[in-house]
Amino acid sequence: MNATLLDGKATAADIRRELTERVAKLTAIGGRPPGLGTVLVGDDPGSHAYVGGKHRDCAQVGIASIRRDLPADATQQQVEDVIDELNADPACTGYIVQLPLPRHLDANAVLERMDPAKDADGLHPVNLGRLTLGVDAPLPCTPRGIVELLRRHGVPLAGARVCVVGRGITVGRPIGLLLTRRSENATVTLCHTGTKGLAWHTREADIVIAAAGSPGLITKDMLRTGAAVLDVGITRTDQGLVGDIHPDAAQVAGWIAPMPGGVGPMTRAMLLANVVEAAERNATAV
């Protein structure tokens, strides 16, 4: 069996084109152009690469960008001062705090200090709460990117059995909330490193979302023939980036979102979508 590619790279490029038009419309009606801020603390090379990519994406679709980089030994107060500054800056319509923060900082206190209306990642506790309640709010970028990727490739969601592996706050925890909305109507099982008999759960699934950060965790014997398999794991090794899906999974999968080229580019595109939508909300509010 040859798995169909869930092509995140191409789909993200389509979405950026759509957003470019919406940004042009916003500015044509006299609105303030959207501006994305990033807060980066420390010098993790991966985080620097992601933040750099986000600013390039912004330039491409006409979103202004504001970059605040702090040293690895920045204090809680210094980070929170930057949060206050971006909350007050009218040119910054949305922003993100790149995670993880260095361990000496209280990430939850930082997220909580953000203006929820400017939360481009959907990770502010108020916005996670709104997601739980089903109230309109910015959605976490990776879960939103996964839903969009499946939709645009015609992978059926209604009634589908989805197995999520990983309980992180950016992906595993929130994705079940999106997929079980009436509009998606999937059934979701949330597994993690403590799950007994993981393969029993994954083999039942029509869709497997691997977001555990455990290289090669999902092997072909753990999959139902024809299943859609999405690789959200990224582990840096001496041999380069390794995902959570073992390469042999392509032999049995019906669809596969690889790493790289699958969910990662969609995450970036959804960040842009959140920023544009926040600016559109503001434009209709006045």
Report the nearest approach of ligand GUE to the CB of residue 14 (Å). 15
Report the nearest approach of ligand GUE to the CB of residue 174 (Å). 12
256 binds ligand GUE (CB under 6 A): no
**Residues at the annotated binding site for NADP(+)?**
166-168, 234
Report the nearest approach of ligand GUE to the CB of residue 175 (Å). 13
Rounded to 10°, the helix 141-152/172-179 angle is: 50
Among 260, 280, 282, 283, binds ligand GUE (CB under 6 A): 260
* Whether 81 is catalytic: no
26 or 208: CB nearest ligand GUE: 208
166 binds ligand GUE (CB under 6 A): no
Q: Give the integer Cα–Cα distance in Å for 248 and 199.
A: 15
| C-alpha triplet 248, 250, 255: angle, nearest 5° | 155
Among 64, 99, 107, 190, binds ligand GUE (CB under 6 A): 99
Query: Residue 101, by phi and psi: left (phi above 0), alpha (psi -120 to 50) or beta?
Result: beta
H/E segment holding residue 68:
strand 64-70
Query: If we measure between CA atoms, which residue out of 5, 67, 26, 1 comes closest to residue 255?
Result: 5
Which tokens in the block code for residue 30? 């006299």
Residues in contact with ligand GUE, shown as a per-residue x/- string from 39 to 78 under the rule CB under 6 A = ----------xx----------------------------
Which amino acid makes up residue 108? N
Task: Identify whether the C-beta of residue 70 lies closer than 8 Å to the C-beta of residue 29.
Answer: no
Q: Which residue has the tokens 């993981």?
A: 198
Binding residues for ligand GUE restricted to 136-155, rule: CB under 6 A: 141
User: DSSP assignment, residue 73?
Assistant: T
Report the nearest approach of ligand GUE to the CB of residue 89 (Å). 18
Active-site residue among 7, 121, 231, 244? 121
Active-site residue among 98, 206, 231, 244? 98
Report the nearest approach of ligand GUE to the CB of residue 100 (Å). 7
* Whether 60 is catalytic: no
* Whether 231 is catalytic: no
Q: Give the integer Cα–Cα distance in Å for 178 and 147.
A: 8
3-state secondary structure of 47: helix
Q: Which residue has the tokens 């807060």?
A: 39
Stretch that binds ligand GUE, among 93-101, 125-133, 203-211, 214-222 (CB under 6 A): 93-101
42 or 260: CB nearest ligand GUE: 260
Among 105, 191, 259, 269, binds ligand GUE (CB under 6 A): 259
268 binds ligand GUE (CB under 6 A): yes
3-state secondary structure of 67: strand
Exposed / middle / buried, residue 58 (Cβ in 10 Å: 0-12, 13-18, 19+): buried
User: Could you list the active site residues?
Assistant: 54, 98, 121
Where do contacts with ligand GUE occur on this chain (CB under 6 A)?
A: 49-50, 96-99, 121, 141, 170, 234, 241, 259-261, 264-265, 267-268
